[in-house]
Chain A
Amino acid sequence: MRTVITILAFVIAYLPAQSQNNAIDRFFSAYENNENFTVVFVSPKMFEMVAKATNDSKNSDIKELVKDIRGLKILSTKKDPLKYYNEASKKIPLNEYEVLMTVRDKGDNVKFLTKGSGDIVDELLLLVGGNDDFVLMSFVGKLDLNKISKLANKLDIQGSEHLDKLKDKK
Chain B
Amino acid sequence: MNNLYIDQLLEKFWSAETTEQEEKELKTYFEQADIDESHAYASPFFVDFVQDKGESEDFTHLIIQKFIKKYFDATASLEEEQLIHEYFSQDDVHENLKCYHGLFRSFQLMGQVQFDKPLALKQKPASGIRIISLTWVKVAAAAVFFVVGGLFLFKSINQEQTAPLAKARYIEPENPEEALEMTLQALAMVSRKYKKGEEQLLQGMKTINNAKGAGN
Contact = CB atoms under 8 A, between A and B. Distances in A.
A49 B144 CA distance: 48
Interface majority SS on B: helix, strand, loop or mixed?
helix
Interface in A47-91: 47, 49-50, 52-54, 62, 65-66, 69, 72, 74-75
Given A50-B183, A66-B180, A135 B168 contact: no
Query: Which of A4, A149, A153, A163 counts the most B-chain CB atoms under 10 A from its CB?
Result: A4
A112 B167 contact: no
Given A128-B193, A159-B192, A1 B173 contact: no
Contact of A72 (B134, B148, B186): B186
B167 A126 contact: no
B183 A112 contact: no
B197 A103 contact: yes
A110 B7 CA distance: 135
A159 B188 CA distance: 5
A94 interface: no
B170 A149 contact: no
B187 A65 contact: yes
A155 B194 CA distance: 11
B189 A163 contact: yes
Contacts of B197: 101-103, 110, 112
B193 A112 contact: yes
Contacts of B144: 8, 11
A37 interface: yes
B70 to A, nearest CB: 40
A137 interface: yes
Contact of A169 (B171, B183, B193): B171
Interface string A120-131: 000010101000
Contact of A112 (B168, B169, B194): B194
B123 to A, nearest CB: 22
A155 B190 CA distance: 10
Contacts, number: 153
A158 B182 CA distance: 14
B206 interface: no
Nearest to A151: B191
Nearest to A63: B180
B187 A11 contact: no
Interface string B154-193: 0000000011001111111101110111111111111111
A152 interface: yes
Contact of A163 (B179, B185, B198): B185
B179 A47 contact: yes
A42 interface: yes
Interface string A35-46: 111111111001
B37 to A, nearest CB: 83
B200 interface: yes
B141 A155 contact: no
17 contacts: A11-B145, A32-B170, A35-B169, A39-B171, A42-B172, A53-B176, A101-B194, A101-B197, A103-B200, A105-B200, A112-B197, A124-B190, A128-B189, A137-B186, A148-B187, A154-B191, A159-B189
Interface of A: 1, 4, 7-8, 11, 31-43, 46-47, 49-50, 52-54, 62, 65-66, 69, 72, 74-75, 101-103, 105, 110, 112, 124, 126, 128, 135, 137, 139, 148-149, 151-156, 158-163, 165-166, 169
Given A32-B168, A153-B191, A159-B195, 12 more contacts: A42-B172, A46-B179, A74-B186, A101-B197, A105-B200, A110-B196, A126-B189, A152-B191, A156-B195, A159-B189, A159-B191, A165-B185
